[in-house]
Amino acid sequence: MSFRGTKINPDRFDKSQIKFLLILLPIILIMVLPLVYIFNHAFKPYDELFAYPPRFFVRRPTFDNFRLLFSMVSSSGVPFSRYLFNSVMIAVVVLALSILISTGAAYAFEMLDFKGKALLYKFNMLSMMFVAVAFAIPRYIIITGLGFNDTFFVHVIPFLAAPVGIFLIRQYMKSIPKELVEASKIDGANDYQVFWFVVVPLVKPAMATMGILTFQAVWTYSESSELYVDKESLRTLPYFINTITAATGNVVASQGISAAASLIMFLPMLAIFIYFQGKVINTMSHSGIK
């Protein structure tokens, strides 16, 4: 296929694509620069961390920042692996439960008819208008009232209600022909069977998109460890990174440790996004989000 001499999606490189590359390459370079900086900053020695004017690229890379990070954690009585384990377990549990709940709610809103459906969905859309800090006090009252302080539940419960996830998955479900669902029910399938064996396989791109957004939110969230947890063994990696300066008591030394810890925090998010980025684009196009 071609348009005014330009081949669209050619099988191999074509000279007609050069004009697009000349536009895209500078944009790609600008977008990649923050990623390059994060990697370089984590391996800078002290003199380069505080160099003026600041240096973008590291000249003498070192692993001292990572060695100091692990030695500091081990001396605190709680190993680095414990913080990492807590964060990974919380992320896995939240991903599984939030995707299941949001997909089920989206299926109910899109495929089922029940009294009050329109009103409930309006409340879901309305909740997307509020920033997270607006729910801080009600959330604290509810969690404290349930007696979940100093438990893993305080890390999980705040993320189970995901209005954005319900919206994205429901919008994606609109692309599923209603005739397919009706045919499944005519063949004898009940609502649960239609949900698991017909709808869920078709909305996996939307579920993957929600998983990415949820993982990014959970992986960097530290308020639960600050507000609801007193036991150090129940706290997460983001909390530890936020308290590095206070733990070291040295602003200079904490800069290198913070840079190394930030890189460790960033790598899982980068890997997951790269793996699922195709599904994100596909979901946005089906959801009508530009």
Q: CATH fold of 66-287, please?
A: MetI-like fold (1.10.3720)
What pTM was estimated for this model as a whole?
Answer: 0.77
Instruction: Write down the pLDDT at residue 11.
Output: 64
Instruction: Write down the pLDDT at residue 289.
Output: 43
Instruction: Write down the pLDDT at residue 2.
Output: 47
Residue 7 pairs with which residues in a beta bridge?
A: 2
On whether the CB atoms of residues 200 and 103 are closer than 8 A, the answer is yes
pLDDT digits (tens, 9 = 90+) for 59-85: 888 888 888 887 776 666 677 788 888
pLDDT digits (tens, 9 = 90+) for 130-185: 877 788 888 888 888 888 888 888 999 888 888 888 998 998 888 888 888 888 88
- Under the banding of pLDDT at 50, 70 and 90, the label for residue 206 is confident
Gap between the Cα atoms of 105 and 125, Å rounded: 13
Joined together, the tokens standing for residue 153 give 């539940």
Domain ranges of the chain: 66-287
Average pLDDT over residues 215-232: 87
Other CB atoms within a 10 A radius of the CB of residue 123 amount to 10
Instruction: Write down the pLDDT at residue 290.
Output: 42
- Under the banding of pLDDT at 50, 70 and 90, the label for residue 288 is very low
Rama region for 266: left / alpha / beta (φ>0; ψ in -120 to 50; rest): alpha
Other CB atoms within a 10 A radius of the CB of residue 37 amount to 14
Does residue 115 carry a pLDDT above 70?
yes
Count of H-run helices and E-run strands, the chain: 16, 2
- Under the banding of pLDDT at 50, 70 and 90, the label for residue 48 is confident
